[in-house]
Amino acid sequence: MSGKVDVFISSEKIEERLAQLGQQITSDYGNKKLVVICILKGAFIFCSDLIRYIKTPLKMEFIKVSSYGDDTKSSGHVKFELDVSESLNDKDVLIVEDIVDSGLTMKELINHVRSHKPSSVKVASLLLKPENLTHEVKVDYVGFSIPNKFVIGYGLDYAGHYRELPYIGVWNADS
Ligand code: IMP
Ligand code: MG
């Protein structure tokens, strides 16, 4: 693959937005005991940065799903590879994801979490591609709405690579 990665959303912009999201989440949940579920692998950086802006007491859980193979196309089904380790019954749950694209992954995640009978379920996603959304999901906290571009960095990958970039980048094939 020839070309280079262009900065699409800078680390400064990401940090600024995370501070706003953290404030909003803190004021929505107050002193409730929140359970934050980080969706691996993609959300690991976003989630760890975001929780440092949340002042509501919280516990962390992790779910790992895979829906993509080695490229940019969805395989069309979601596989659960790791699940929560404590009961979500009667808990206020916030699912933290890197990106909602077609919404398939999030729809399955919400159904899965709801089957544990939590008292509430909300979703925070760093990115949302509204043009691609074909499944009915509500994203309560959106970092950035973006056009239909394939993005990498800040946790997001292309075939497992580029997660370590401190910004959100887009592939520029022309340079
Ligand atoms: P969905 O099920 O179609 O909503 O896809 C969601 C998953 O696809 C995300 O959790 C990502 O892992 C992956 N994904 C979708 N768009 C992108 C992108 O632009 N860059 C990297 N991964 C993406
Ligand atoms: Mg993902």
DSSP 8-class letter at 158 = B
Q: Radius of gyration over alpha carbons of the chain, in Å? A: 16
Phi/psi for 28 (5° steps) reads: -70, -40
Dist CA 110 CA 114 (whole Å): 6
Least-confidence region, from 13-17, 77-81, 98-102: 77-81
> pTM of the full predicted structure?
0.94
Is the CB of 9 within 6 Å of ligand 1?
Answer: no
Is the CB of 66 within 6 Å of ligand 1?
Answer: no
- Identify which has the larger pLDDT, 1 or 164: 164
Residue of the nearest CA to atom 19 in ligand 1? 150
Is the CB of 105 within 6 Å of ligand 1?
Answer: yes
Render pLDDT for 99-139 as a digit per residue (tens, 0 to 9). 999 999 999 999 999 999 999 999 999 999 999 999 999 99
Render pLDDT for 87-107 as a digit per residue (tens, 0 to 9). 999 999 999 999 999 999 999
Say which ligand is closest to the CA of 137.
1
- Sequence-ordered strand ranges (E) for the chain: 4-9, 34-40, 58-68, 74-82, 92-100, 120-128, 141-145, 151-152, 168-172
User: Which pLDDT does position 2 carry in this prediction?
Assistant: 67
Catalytic residues, which ones?
101
DSSP 8-class letter at 161 = B
